[in-house]
């Protein structure tokens, strides 16, 4: 069986596009912000509330629970109702990610999926990155930021994603030891990057 493919990505590296194209090529499910909608539906909160909290770490007491081996992989009981919305979102999304992985091969972008699935045996963990200038050009071309503000915007988004990942996993987001494969999309075309990840996935096919 093909592995579950998790993708963490620097902002502007094309991680979303890469994930979508891989999923389409392999004909397997693709999950990214759709997890927010699923989380909102399961929890009873509005999708807008969860969208605002998405990929933002909190200063909650739950930080102590993600240090060491305890982590969010352990179901918290008795106090979920008092948790900050960010932490509720993380827990609900964790359940959704595990359920998706149990159902079969899929592509999951962001949401600390590589960490959440750390005990799953058949997972390909990918980190997508690129030269900053190339990433700035990408977001400007996609009209996601003004050309003058784009460099700072890239830094801000990377820091936000890094803080979120570090907070909920007690690991460094950009530590290559967390991943099986890193792909530089400023060196390879998107088509080549897709081929690299698919080839790696097929090598892990069990």
pLDDT (tens digit, 9 = 90+) per residue, 106-125? 999 999 999 999 999 999 99
Per-residue confidence (pLDDT) for residue 64, from 0 to 100: 40
What's the start-to-end Cα distance of the chain, in Å?
5
Q: Residue 66 and residue 145: Cα distance in Å, rounded?
A: 34
Lowest mean pLDDT among 13-22, 162-171, 182-191: 162-171
Per-residue confidence (pLDDT) for residue 75, from 0 to 100: 37
Per-residue confidence (pLDDT) for residue 106, from 0 to 100: 96
Number of domains observed in the structure of the chain? 1
Residue 181 CA to its chain's centroid (Å): 15
Top pLDDT among 86 and 172 is at: 172
Distances (CA, A) of 35 to 46, 64, 105, 122, 173: 13, 25, 16, 21, 20
Tokens of 6: 């998790």
Range of the domain at 59: 4-203
Q: How many residues does the chain have?
A: 206
Binning pLDDT at 50, 70 and 90, where does residue 177 land?
very high
Mean pLDDT, to the nearest integer, of 177-199?
Answer: 96
Mean pLDDT, to the nearest integer, of 132-153?
Answer: 91
H-helix segments, 15-104: 15-26, 34-43, 47-53, 85-103
CA-CA-CA-CA dihedral for 165, 72, 58, 35, to nearest 10: 70
Q: How many CA atoms lie within 13 A of 46 on its CB side?
A: 3
Give burial (CB, 10 Å; 0-12/13-18/19+) of 176: exposed
What does the DSSP 8-state code read for residue 61? G
Name the residue with tokens 């693709």.
Answer: 30
* pTM for the structure as a whole: 0.84
User: What is the CATH number for 154?
Assistant: 3.40.50.300
């Amino acid at each position: 069986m093909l592995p579950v493919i998790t993708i963490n990505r620097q902002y502007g590296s094309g991680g979303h596009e890469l994930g979508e194209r891989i999923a389409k090529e392999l004909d397997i499910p693709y999950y990214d912000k759709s997890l927010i909608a699923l989380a909102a539906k399961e929890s009873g909160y509005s999708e807008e509330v969860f969208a605002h909290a998405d990929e933002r770490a909190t200063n909650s007491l739950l930080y102590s629970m993600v240090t060491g081996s305890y982590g969010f992989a352990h179901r918290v009981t008795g106090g979920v109702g008092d948790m900050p919305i960010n932490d509720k979102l993380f827990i609900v999304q964790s359940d959704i990610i595990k359920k998706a992985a149990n159902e079969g091969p899929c592509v999951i972008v962001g949401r600390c999926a590589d960490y959440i699935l750390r005990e799953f045996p058949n997972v390909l963990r990918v980190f997508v990155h690129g030269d900053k200038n190339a990433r700035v050009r990408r977001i400007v071309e996609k009209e996601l930021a003004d050309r003058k503000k784009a460099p700072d915007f890239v830094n801000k988004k990377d820091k936000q994603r890094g803080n979120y990942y570090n907070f909920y996993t007690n690991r460094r987001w950009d530590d290559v030891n967390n991943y099986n494969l890193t792909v530089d999309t400023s060196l390879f075309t998107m088509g080549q990057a897709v081929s690299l990840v698919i080839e790696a996935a097929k090598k892990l096919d069990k």
